[in-house]
């Protein structure tokens, strides 16, 4: 029964991943990330993604802070933040977040403040969705590991 639990959880993970790929939330780069994980770094994907979350939230705060300034005009600074967000998003396979960053950068290059504000809202939504889904994925993975461990208990 415990074995079935681990297998069912693995199926749940695969289903969720397939959904995220189908929705374009993740792309092939996420698989590349998973392939880097090995016995020397068994939590590599989770660690990288948590760093990504931490850095992304800083960038989102910076972007919102810039756009909320009354006399905002530093589109160059905004471009720097966006380039960084684009780079890290593409590195973990966060395809939709990256694509919104591209649109955001286009608005920024046109000094289009209203466009930037709309893009920021969209970016915050996309990021929120991605974060929730990846947390869900990692939770299922954690449960699967526990279930698999219970199936094969350590021998004394």
Partner 1 sequence: MSSNNTENWMKDIGVLDHPSGVGEGSTTSAATNITALVVDDDSVNQMIHSKILENLGIQNQVVRNGKEAVDLHSSGNNFDLILMDMDMPVMNGIEATRKLRAMGVRSIIAGVSTCTRDEREQKEFMEAGLDDFQEKPLTTPKVVSILQKVNKKC
Phi then psi for residue 123, to 5 deg, are -65, -45
**Cα dihedral sign for 72, 74, 79, 85?**
negative
Nearer to partner 1, 38 or 69 (CB): 38
**Angle (CA) 19 89 42, round 5°:** 75
Closest-CA residue to 51 (of 88, 24, 81, 87): 88
Phi then psi for residue 112, to 5 deg, are -95, 95
Q: Which of 4, 14, 15, 55 binds partner 1 (CB under 8 A)?
A: 55
**Is residue 90 a contact residue for partner 1 (CB under 8 A)?**
yes
**Is residue 110 a contact residue for partner 1 (CB under 8 A)?**
no
**Is residue 92 a contact residue for partner 1 (CB under 8 A)?**
yes
**Is residue 33 a contact residue for partner 1 (CB under 8 A)?**
yes
Question: Residues in the site for partner 1, rule: CB under 8 A?
Answer: 29, 32-33, 35-36, 38, 41, 44, 47-48, 51-52, 55, 80, 83-84, 86-88, 90-93
């Amino acid at each position: 029964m415990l074995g079935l639990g681990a297998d069912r959880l693995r199926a749940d993970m695969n289903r969720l991943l397939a959904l995220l790929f189908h929705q374009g939330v993740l792309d092939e780069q996420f698989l590349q990330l998973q392939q880097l994980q090995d016995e020397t770094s068994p939590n590599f994907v989770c660690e990288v993604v948590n760093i990504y979350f931490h850095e992304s939230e800083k960038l989102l705060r910076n972007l919102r802070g810039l756009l909320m300034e009354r006399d905002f005009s530093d589109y160059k600074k905004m471009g720097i933040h966006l380039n960084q967000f684009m780079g890290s998003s593409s590195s973990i396979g966060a395809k939709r977040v990256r694509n919104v960053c591209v649109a955001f950068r286009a608005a920024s290059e046109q000094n289009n403040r209203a466009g930037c504000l709309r893009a920021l809202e969209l970016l915050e939504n996309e990021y929120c969705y991605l974060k929730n889904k990846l947390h869900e994925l990692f939770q299922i993975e954690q449960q699967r590991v526990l279930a698999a461990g219970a199936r094969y208990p350590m021998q004394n």
